[in-house]
C-alpha cells in the first residue's frame, strides 16, 4: 500500500462535481485541476451519473469522498460497501479516497447524518481497528475528514485534534482537513481553531475542504450553501502555510451557483488571501 506522504501531493485546486454542473463540465471541460466526486452517488447506478464520471475521470484527476462508511458505528463494518468503494476507486483511478470521522447509524439503520463521536480511549480503539480493516480492503490509505459538530460529549477525554492525531498515528491513515468544519466546530464547541490547526499532523493530511456555512444565531450550520467567509479563508491560509500546501476542494451543495461562480470561489485557494483585520483567525465568540 502506498504511503500517505507519497499520495498527499498538491494536485492543485478542484471542486466537488455536482449533477447540476454535468452539462457544463462535459461541454466546456473547465480549467480546474481536479474533481472530487461523492462516492455514494455512483455506487448504485449504471446510468448517466456513472457515464459522466467515466468521462470526467478520463480527463481529470479524481478524488472520492464518501458519507456512508460510518467508521465510528458499533454495528458490524459493511465490508460489501467498502468493496464497492474500492471497485469505484479502481475504475476512476482515484488519487485519494475519503470519508468522515463519524457514525451514521446503529442497529442496521442509517440516519444519513455525520453524527459526532465522543473523543475518548474507547472510541479511539474502536475507530482505529475499523480503519485498519477498511484500508486492507481498499488496498490504499483512507483519508478521514474532521466533521462539523453541533455538540460535545461530557465524557470526551481529549480534544478533537488530539483524537485525530492519535487516530492517524495508530491506524496509519490520512486526514482530510475541512477548514470550514474547523471554523464551524470551533464556534459551536468553543475551542481555538488556531490551536486546532497547529496541532494537526500535517504529514498525514491529503487535502483540504473549503465551503460556506450559515449562522443561525445560536450556532453555525455547515450548509455548503455560500461563499466561504473571510475568517475561513484566513484559516485556509494558515493551514496552507503550516502544511506547505495541499490540494483544496471547494464544496457547494445547496443553492448551487453556476459553475463559473463556484470555480472563482475555489480559485481563491490558488491565489491565497492576505490576513487582514476583517479576517480574524479566531472566530469571534458570538456563540461562546
Partner 1 sequence: MAEPSLRQLQGWMQAVLTHPHCAWCGVDSDDARRHLDARAEEIVLPAARLQPVDRLAVYAQMYPLRMRDALATDYPVLKDALGAEAWKSLVDEYIRAYPSVHPNLNQLGRHLPRFLRSLRDLKSCAVLADLAELELAMTLVFDAEEPGPFDARGLATLRPADWSGAVFIAAPTLQLRAFGYPVNAYLQAVKRGESVPLPDAAPSFTVLYRKNWSVWRRELSQDEYRLLSLLVQGRCLAKAMKKVQRDAALEPDELSARLRRWSQDWIEDGYFSRIETS
# residues contacting partner 1 (CB under 8 A): 50
Residue 79 interacting with partner 1 (CB under 8 A) = no
Rule CB under 8 A: is residue 78 a binding residue for partner 1? yes
DSSP calls for 109-128: ----S-B----SHHHHHHHH
Contacting partner 1 within 246-265 (CB under 8 A): none
Asked if 126 is part of the footprint of partner 1 (rule: CB under 8 A), the reply reads yes
Binding of partner 1 at residue 272 (CB under 8 A)? no
In a 10 Å sphere around its CB, with 0-12 CB exposed, 13-18 middle and 19+ buried, how is residue 246 labelled? buried
Interaction between residue 219 and partner 1 (CB under 8 A): yes
Which residues on adjacent β-strands are paired with residue 247? 207
- Cβ proximity to partner 1: between 22 and 202 the closer is 22
Based on the shown chain and the rule CB under 8 A, indicate whether residue 73 belongs to the binding site for partner 1: yes
Q: Residue 150, interface with partner 1 (CB under 8 A)? A: yes
Q: Is 271 near partner 1 (CB under 8 A)?
A: no
- The distance of closest approach from Cβ of residue 40 to partner 1 in the complex, given in angstroms and rounded to an integer, is 5
Closer residue to partner 1 in complex, CB, 219/273? 219
Q: Is 122 in the site for partner 1 (CB under 8 A)?
A: yes
- Are 219 and 187 in contact, with CB atoms under 8 Å apart? yes
Nearest to 263 by CA among 56, 18, 99: 18
Which of the ranges 71-79, 165-173, 177-185, 229-237 carries the binding residues for partner 1, by CB under 8 A? 71-79
Helix 79-92 and helix 121-138, axial crossing angle in degrees, nearest 10: 50
Decide: is 113 part of the binding site for partner 1 (CB under 8 A): yes
**Binding characters for partner 1, 48-67, by CB under 8 A (x = yes):** x-xx----------------
Kindly state whether residue 137 participates in binding partner 1, applying the rule CB under 8 A.
no
Cell numbers 479502481 label which residue?
90
Is residue 155 part of the contact set for partner 1 (CB under 8 A)? yes
C-alpha 197/C-alpha 199 separation (Å) is: 5
Nearest residue to 235 via CA among 267, 210, 213: 210
Distance CA 122, CA 116 (A): 14
CB of 18 to partner 1, least distance (A): 13
Does residue 93 bind partner 1 (CB under 8 A)? Answer: no
* CA dihedral angle for residue 240, residue 241, residue 244, residue 245, rounded to 10 degrees: 20
- Residue 135: alpha-carbon gap to chain centroid: 17
Residue 200: partners with Cβ closer than 8 Å, 6 or more residues away? 161, 164, 165, 175, 177, 239, 242, 243
Q: Which residue has the cell 494558515?
A: 238
Which one of residues 40, 178, 251, 265 is an interface residue with partner 1 (CB under 8 A)? 40
Taking the least distance from each CB to partner 1, the nearer of 126 and 273 is 126
Is 111 a binding residue for partner 1 by CB under 8 A? The answer is: yes
Applying CB under 8 A, among 45, 169, 255, 260 the residue interacting with partner 1 is 45
Residue 176, burial from CB neighbour count under 10 angstroms (0-12, 13-18, 19+): buried
Q: Which residues bind partner 1 (CB under 8 A)?
A: 40-41, 43-48, 50-51, 68, 70, 72-74, 78, 81, 103, 105-113, 115, 117-118, 120, 122-123, 126, 150-155, 188-190, 217-219, 221, 285, 287-288
Amino acid at each position: 500500500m502506498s504511503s500517505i506522504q507519497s499520495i498527499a501531493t498538491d494536485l492543485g485546486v478542484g471542486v466537488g462535481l455536482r449533477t447540476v454542473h454535468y452539462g457544463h463540465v462535459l461541454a466546456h471541460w473547465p480549467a480546474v485541476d481536479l474533481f472530487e466526486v461523492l462516492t455514494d452517488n455512483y455506487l448504485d447506478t449504471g446510468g448517466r451519473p456513472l457515464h459522466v464520471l467515466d468521462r470526467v475521470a478520463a480527463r481529470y484527476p479524481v478524488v472520492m469522498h464518501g458519507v456512508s462508511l460510518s467508521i465510528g458505528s458499533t454495528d458490524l463494518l459493511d465490508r460489501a460497501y467498502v468493496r464497492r468503494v474500492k471497485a469505484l476507486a479502481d475504475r476512476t483511478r482515484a488519487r485519494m479516497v475519503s470519508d468522515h470521522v463519524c457514525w451514521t447509524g446503529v442497529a442496521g439503520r442509517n440516519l444519513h447524518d455525520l453524527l459526532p463521536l465522543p473523543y475518548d480511549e474507547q472510541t479511539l480503539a474502536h475507530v482505529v481497528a475499523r480503519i485498519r480493516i477498511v484500508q486492507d480492503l481498499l488496498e490504499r490509505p483512507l483519508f478521514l475528514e474532521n466533521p462539523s459538530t453541533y455538540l460535545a460529549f461530557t465524557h470526551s477525554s481529549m480534544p478533537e485534534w488530539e483524537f485525530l492525531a492519535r487516530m492517524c498515528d495508530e491506524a496509519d491513515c490520512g486526514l482530510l482537513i475541512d477548514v470550514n468544519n474547523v471554523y464551524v466546530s470551533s464556534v459551536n464547541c468553543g475551542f481555538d481553531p488556531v490551536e486546532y490547526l497547529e496541532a494537526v499532523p500535517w504529514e498525514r493530511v491529503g487535502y483540504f475542504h473549503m465551503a460556506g456555512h450559515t449562522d443561525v444565531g445560536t450556532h453555525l450550520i455547515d450548509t455548503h450553501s455560500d461563499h466561504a467567509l473571510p475568517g475561513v479563508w484566513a484559516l485556509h491560509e494558515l493551514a496552507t502555510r503550516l502544511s506547505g500546501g495541499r490540494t483544496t476542494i471547494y464544496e457547494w451543495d445547496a443553492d448551487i451557483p453556476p459553475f463559473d461562480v463556484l470555480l472563482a470561489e475555489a480559485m481563491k485557494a490558488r491565489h491565497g488571501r492576505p490576513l487582514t483585520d476583517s479576517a480574524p483567525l479566531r472566530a469571534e465568540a458570538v456563540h461562546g
